Amino acid sequence: MTKKNIDWGSLGFVYQPTDYSVSAMYKDGKWSDLELTADHTCHMSECACVLQYAQTVFEGLKAYTTPDGRTVTFRPDLNAQRMIDSAERLGIPPVPEEMFMEALDLLVANNLDWVPPYGSGATMYVRPFIYGSGPMISVAPAEEFEFRMICMPVGPYFKGGIKPLVLKISDFDRAAPHGTGDIKAGLNYAMSFHAHEVAHNEGFAENMFLDAGTRTCVEETGGANFLFVTKDGKIVTPKSKSNSILPSITRRSLMVVAKDLLGMDIEQREVPIAEVPEFAECGLCGTAAVIAPVGKINDHGKEICFPSGMDEMGPVLKKLYDTLTGIQMGTIEGPEGWIHEIK
Ligand SMILES: *Cc1c(COP(=O)(O)O)cnc(C)c1O
């Protein structure tokens, strides 16, 4: 194995084709065998259901190099299960968990030179997705699909140190009550692009979306769940009024770490926006950054400033962050089954 000659520390979050991708086709009611391919272009009908009706679901996870040189992934079985849940909701034939795991092993094992070394700050991002490739003009699911898994090395989420973000409460909604907010559907992202652009143009890093039904409770951002810390050190994460929060694997893992490893009190419950100014710390969690601290939230001109400030992550979230990243990188022993080694 010879690692690619890449300046790992200066990588961004940018598409980069590697040596191979993995693909399988669904036709005549069944999935084909998985195949390694060096062709990084998808070939489909101009009338593919994904192009006409956005029939596509995806996942996102990372592969890391441990200090002793192993290549590992974090709880990929949960990504496999979540992609099954997403697929079923969009009329897409699910990829069974064993097939997903086989694809992951095949993909990463054949792109080892692209997995950033330990300590570089970079990681390998893995993007599995399924899309309706077969032609469809009437409003119905495709009959043919492609499952693809691609990967690329990506840089650290925060270059030059972790900086708290400033958010705004959006006047747009991310997902309808009891709609597709709880699955990883590409269409959820397309729908948030405009709201994101508006927030960016006003100088905010992200949007805080409220529940679409009543606009009274915190849901999530376009791509990360919220964690709050109360003044007495309890971890609180929003529960949706209407099943429209994406079940983040990072958030679910952090809640286990908080409770079982660090002995903290945790709560998953509705979080009224009126309660947010009472919290001591606020963060966003997801695969990309693990935890991104939030320093301020703008509620229609009124600023909510967290006591943790604009210089660094608050102490409680930092403890959670250090513990989970330690487990992911293999320097801290986590719960059984959380680390999947690529062989
Ligand atoms: C993927 C995603 C997250 C984060 O989930 P992780 O499994 O932690 O990466 C949060 N919100 C949305 C909308 C997402 O699509």
CA of 188 to the centre of ligand 1 (A): 11
**pLDDT number for residue 296:** 98
CA of 5 to the centre of ligand 1 (A): 31
- Decide if 279 contacts 308 (C-beta within 8 A): no
Residues with CB under 6 A from ligand 1: 60, 184, 220, 223-225, 246, 248-251, 286-287
Q: What is the pLDDT of residue 249?
A: 98
pLDDT score of 220: 97
Query: Above 90 in pLDDT, residue 157?
Result: no
Cα 85 to averaged position of ligand 1 atoms, centre (Å): 14
Closest atom of ligand 1 to CA, residue 220:
11
Q: Which atom of ligand 1 is nearest to the CA of 82?
A: 7
Q: Which one, of 107, 143, 131, 126, lies nearest residue 43 by Cα?
A: 131
CA 301 vs. chain centroid, Å, equals: 29
pLDDT of residue 226: 98
Which tens digits make up the pLDDT trace of 166-211?
A: 999 999 999 999 999 999 999 999 999 999 999 999 999 999 999 9
> CATH assignment of 165-329, given 3.40.50.280, 3.30.420.10, 3.20.10.10, 3.20.20.70?
3.20.10.10
Angle, helices 97-109/76-89, rounded to nearest 10 degrees = 130
Q: How far apart are CA 284 and CA 224, in angstroms?
A: 6
Pairing of strands 61-65, 56-58: unpaired
Closest CA to 214 of 254, 250, 173: 173
pLDDT of residue 160: 76
In whole angstroms, what is the distance from residue 284 CA to residue 227 CA? 6
The answer to whether 295 touches 308, Cβ cutoff 8 Å, is yes
Bridge partner list, 208: 169
From 3.30.70.1560, 3.90.1150.10, 3.70.10.10, 3.30.470.10, which CATH number describes the 8-154 domain? 3.30.470.10
CA distances to 19, 23, 144, 343 from 153, in Å: 12, 19, 30, 19
Question: What average pLDDT does the structure give for the chain?
Answer: 96
pLDDT of residue 21: 98
For ligand 1, pick from 187, 196, 225 the residue to mutate: most ligand atoms within 8 Å of CB.
Answer: 225
- Report how far residue 129's alpha carbon sits from residue 339's, in angstroms, rounded to the nearest whole number: 22
Q: 341: closest CA among 33, 123, 69, 117?
A: 69
The two structure tokens encoding residue 54: 């956005």
Taking the CA of residue 286 as reference, the ligand 1 atom at the shortest distance is 8
**Rounded percentage of the chain residues whose pLDDT exceeds 70:** 100
pLDDT higher than 90, residue 94: yes
Domain boundaries, the chain: 8-154, 165-329
> Ligand 1, closest atom to CA 174?
13
Q: Which atom of ligand 1 is nearest to the CA of 59?
A: 1
Amino acid code (one letter) for 30: K
Pocket test for ligand 1, best of 246, 290, 328 (most atoms within 8 A of CB): 246
Q: How confident is the model at residue 156 (pLDDT cuts 50, 70, 90)?
A: confident
pLDDT at 1 over 80: no
Q: Where are the alpha helices (DSSP H) in the chain?
A: 49-53, 76-89, 97-109, 186-201, 249-256, 315-328
Write down the pLDDT at residue 2: 86
